[in-house]
Structure 1
């Protein structure tokens, strides 16, 4: 599933280039022109995108000083809002991150253009209930740059139900102080949403109805920003899109203080002494409040020596350890909770099955395309020219003919027509394709 989106940042347009896949937005009033643009595939699923953000959050304080990082696997599932014990889904998501390409195109400290590419994770493994992983040294250096990384609020992240909506949020949030993303070409927006290979979304009508409007609606309902899409046309064709951004006053409670305030509090110092990372400590204080975190710290310390204090504290914060015992739930409540759990697990399984089906469909399509190219190239020049002219006569629309003229038999827009054409021309051409 290795996919990439080409970064094309330049110093004079860095403000308009989103950093796809990073965990949040730059918290400052203006964007300097030497800010790096790091892109990863927009095709990450919602679970994979959340997982990528949490892994970066966990590793951030030691990205440069440590070659590898680790986190308790169940704590990891907790932080991404995934409560299932199905480790196979977690394995599949980690595998996808290791196969996903991150690419940057930026100015270095001396003002020289620097391009680089790396897998998003250099490796990941699960052993003894612990997830161990690493970034390549070059990517770790870029991610550790404070101009590139800003903490995404995990409390907000867990509320998203759509991968497209979370991708849109991540790309827009960094511009909250400037009020606008700047203009993005529609082709770039399709790549950021992970639909650049879909002929269906070549139509702006479908892109707007199925991607833009639902994603904007979920961001506005779920997050701490409000988005308004704006379109630029050439004639009657939409060529560029931007998003006007303002803070959502109804969800301002989710804002995280990324300054020095929380670091001076006694509870922060206790968390650090326990082994909690800087950003996770501030995350917990922001989400739960100092009194609640202090209460759970006291509870954990009162339990004596435990195998994993940080994991135990995470569970205490989540499940309110030490609180007065709640009344025994009624059978109806227990049954309702079981139904909700079953529905959540069924949804996670269905998402995994849909991803597998999409991946299989893409593999089959790629194999068919490769078979067409091989057969077409084996024909003599006269036959090849006749094949192209015959196929062109079968295309009805100017857009389809233009795409075929540009891409030939690799035209994604005409894939179905190409397969039907060659099936008629060479019966059985696809018999060996799974």
Structure 2
């Protein structure tokens, strides 16, 4: 799966990572890989209003695309939602006053599909725990999309929240089997089977796929394994993954140049996500070669917006002279940018995936670099948005 596009995301989905309380991770019953991914996206979608709203909504077609379902496969979505409603979350922790608190709740109190909208809710007690910032794991949605095994994603979820301490601490094998969703299988009561089919494959995928490296350690009583823990370290080979709302972009040379020019952090990341690093680099090179520019950021803004550079200079554009009347292409690009910005965050991701499905390899590569500003796909992009919004470009001629 490709990474989730971040261009101009707003609201909870711009975060790109979801706070998962221990209650959302320690579940009884087996969750499939798709159900785990679904649970994470639903939580991320609802997170900012978990306490203030009792019900949450997301476009069902968009939800399918974000999780990796066929967008028309409502039956699979129904089955996964049913599984979440039938799965129990359990917590056992100290409250704010130091008193022991145990609780249990279905992961979803209800879910329904109507008119292309998925509506769902959490029980008030679970919503409170899910929103508690004191004990959580950061589940990055770009990383979770890379997982192909439910056991590996479960291991990642349960290990990543201990990244700061470097170890999960000792888990009894009974608890570990519960966390992996295999507690009901007699087959996995034999450690040899658990190790061969669950532990080793999951560890290998986490270390290959995610931003952490985990190392299992065993504790025995006699010859029998009784407990397991995982040592956790950052994965140096995947350190450039976007782990915290743009961290990967912040490591780029283009980002550093933008910041040195005086561009804000947020705008720098937005430009890179929207236009692609190569495009922004060309405009930076052009502005740097002009000499005597008093307002470099303003000049760069115009260069990005109007798509001019040394090879095709726009007469009259300078920090002191306003840009001439824009071409039809420039006005159309601005309209597309406005249309995309008006879409809900999850719809933007779906829009890109639907459009990319139409492209060949070369066109797709250019679109991945430049997004809706892709010159190679300009006409196809315009046709796509005309289909979504008939008459979108009326009056631009």
In the superposition, the TM-score normalised over structure 2's length comes to 0.62
Q: Which residue of 1 aligns with 2:119?
A: 132
Offset of residue 321 of structure 1: 3.1
Which residue number in structure 2 is paired with residue 321 of structure 1?
Answer: 372
User: Of 151, 156, 163, which aligns to 2:138?
Assistant: 151
- Give the number of equivalent residue pairs: 275
Deviation of residue 127 (structure 1)?
1.1
- Between the aligned partners of 1:305 and 1:228, the Cα distance in structure 2 is 43
Q: 1:312 to 1:121 in 2, by over 3 A?
A: closer
Write the distance in 2 (CA, Å) between the matches of 1:122 and 1:214: 33
Structure 2 counterpart of 1:354: none
CA shift digits 1:179-208 (9 cap, x unpaired): 111111111111111111212111111111
The answer to whether 1:48 aligns with 2:35 is yes
> Is the contact between residue 108 and residue 121 of structure 2 (CA under 8 Å) also seen in structure 1?
yes
The structure-2 alpha-carbon separation of the partners of 1:115 and 1:259, relative to structure 1 and needing over 3 Å to count, comes to farther
Cα distance change, pair 303–183 in 1 and its aligned pair in 2 (3 A): closer
Report how far residue 102 of structure 1 moved. Answer: 1.2
Please, what is the CA RMSD of the aligned residues?
3.3
Contact persistence 1:37–1:106 (CA under 8 A): no
Aligned partners of 1:72 and 1:40: how far apart in 2?
26
How far 1:317 sits from its partner (Å)? 5.0
Deviation (angstroms), 1:149: 3.6
Are residues 103 and 176 of structure 1, via their aligned partners in 2, closer, same or farther at CA, if it must alter by over 3 Å? same
Q: Give 1:164 shift.
A: 0.4
SS state at 1:67 partner: coil
CA distance in 2, matches of 1:258, 1:302: 22
**Post-superposition shift, 1:82?**
2.6
- Give the equivalent residue in structure 2 for 1:85: 72
1:73–1:130 contact (8 Å) kept in structure 2: yes
Matched, 1:192 2:179: yes
Residue 304 to residue 158, structure 1, CA distance change in 2 (3 Å): closer
Matched, 1:291 2:271: yes
Q: Which of 36, 49, 60 in structure 1 is aligned with 2:47?
A: 60
Identify if the C-alpha distance between structure 1 residues 316 and 300 changes in structure 2 by more than 3 Å, giving closer, same or farther: farther
Question: Which is richer in helix?
Answer: 1
Give yes or no for contact 2:106–2:123 (8 Å, CA) kept in 1. Answer: yes
Partner of 2:158: 171
1:118 Cα deviation after fit: 1.3
Match of 1:220 in 2: 207
- Asked whether the 8 Å contact 1:46–1:163 carries over to 2, the reply is yes
User: After the TM superposition, which residues 31-430 of structure 1 pair with which residues of structure 2 at under 5 Å, given as runs?
Assistant: 39-41=26-28, 43-257=30-244, 289-295=269-275, 300-303=336-339, 308-318=343-353, 319=356, 320-325=371-376
The structure-2 alpha-carbon separation of the partners of 1:179 and 1:145, relative to structure 1 and needing over 3 Å to count, comes to same
Give the whole-Å Cα distance in 2 for the aligned partners of 1:39 and 1:46: 15
Q: Secondary structure at the match of 2:139?
A: coil
1:205 & 1:48 partners in 2: Cα distance?
Answer: 27
CA distance in 2, matches of 1:247, 1:141: 30
How far is 1:301 from its partner? Answer: 4.1
TM-fit CA distance, 1:313: 2.7
State how 1:10-29 maps to structure 2 within 5 Å: none
CA deviation after TM superposition for structure 1 residue 129, in Å: 1.1
Q: Quick check: 1:79–1:154 contact (8 Å CA) kept in 2?
A: no
1:300–1:104 CA distance, 2 compared to 1 (3 A): farther
Tell me the secondary structure at the aligned position of residue 165 of structure 2.
Answer: coil
- Structure 1 residues 324 and 82, CA gap change in structure 2 (3 angstroms): farther
Deviation at 1:25, TM superposition (A): 6.8
Within 1, Cα distance between the matches of 2:271 and 2:143? 21
CA shift at 1:178, angstroms? 1.0
Secondary structure of 1:253's aligned partner: coil
Q: 1-side partners of 2:63 and 2:57: how far apart?
A: 10
Gaps of 5+ in 2: 1-16, 250-264, 277-332, 357-370, 380-397
Residues 40 and 101 of structure 1 are in contact (CA less than 8 Å); yes or no, is this contact kept in structure 2?
Answer: yes
| Per-residue Cα deviation, 1:196-241 (whole angstroms, up to 9, x for no partner) | 1212111111111111000000001110000111111111111111
Residue matched to 1:267: none
Query: What SS is found at the alignment partner of 1:151?
Result: strand
